[in-house]
Structure 1
Amino acid sequence: MQVINVNKTSFDYMRKEKEEMIIKVLGPGCNKCKSLEESINAAVKEAGVAAVVEMVEDNKEIEKYKVKSTPALVIDEKVVSTGKQLTAQEVKTLF
């Protein structure tokens, strides 16, 4: 096994370049939530990035993110949008 020493900058770079993003849509599963999920999937495909997209409909899980409106978009555990239906173009700017 090889051990690689990294600092925060190189870690963030390697993570961005080599690993999948974790993208979550927080909401009750309404049409707005589904529309946001479709925009995310289109953005991921268009941008050619590796990502796992997950719908989170459980209220207790959603409460952990302290969002005030849904749908909410979370990328790598950071809330980046709440209460908006974003287009694929808008989602790509958040990667």
Structure 2
Amino acid sequence: MKIEILGTGCSKCKRLEERTNEAVTELGLEAEVVKVEELDQIMEYGVFKTPGLVVDGEVKESGKVPTVKAIKQLLS
């Protein structure tokens, strides 16, 4: 599983990355969590409001920071 965190480095983006890593650990998943900061790459996903959460190429969330519980549901 490949999980991408889309964002330019704001506090919300960092919080999403932390929560995503926590969710992956709690679920015991084997996943690669990658931070994507380049605007060109972010725009390729059609995300105009960061942070964004992409799982295996599919945008699951954008513009807000979901809870760890919500992230776990998105990853299950």
TM-score by length of 1: 0.77
Q: How does 1:19-30 map to 2 (within 5 A)?
A: 21-30=1-10
Q: What SS is found at the alignment partner of 1:94?
A: helix
Q: Distance in 2 between matches of 1:84 and 1:50?
A: 24
Q: Distance in 1 between matches of 2:24 and 2:60?
A: 16
Quote the RMSD (CA, aligned, Å): 0.6
Within the alignment, does 1:46 sit opposite 2:26 as a pair? yes
Letter in 2 for 1:75: V
Larger Rg: 1
TM-score by length of 2: 0.95
Higher relative contact order (CA 8 A, sep 6+): 2
**How many residues in Structure 1 have an aligned counterpart in Structure 2?**
75
Q: Distance in 1 between matches of 2:42 and 2:74?
A: 20
Runs of 4+ in 1 over 3 A off after TM superposition: none
Q: Shift in Å at residue 68 of structure 1?
A: 2.1
Gaps of 5+ in 1: 1-20
Aligned to 2:56: 76
Q: How does 1:56-75 map to 2 (within 5 A)?
A: 56-75=36-55
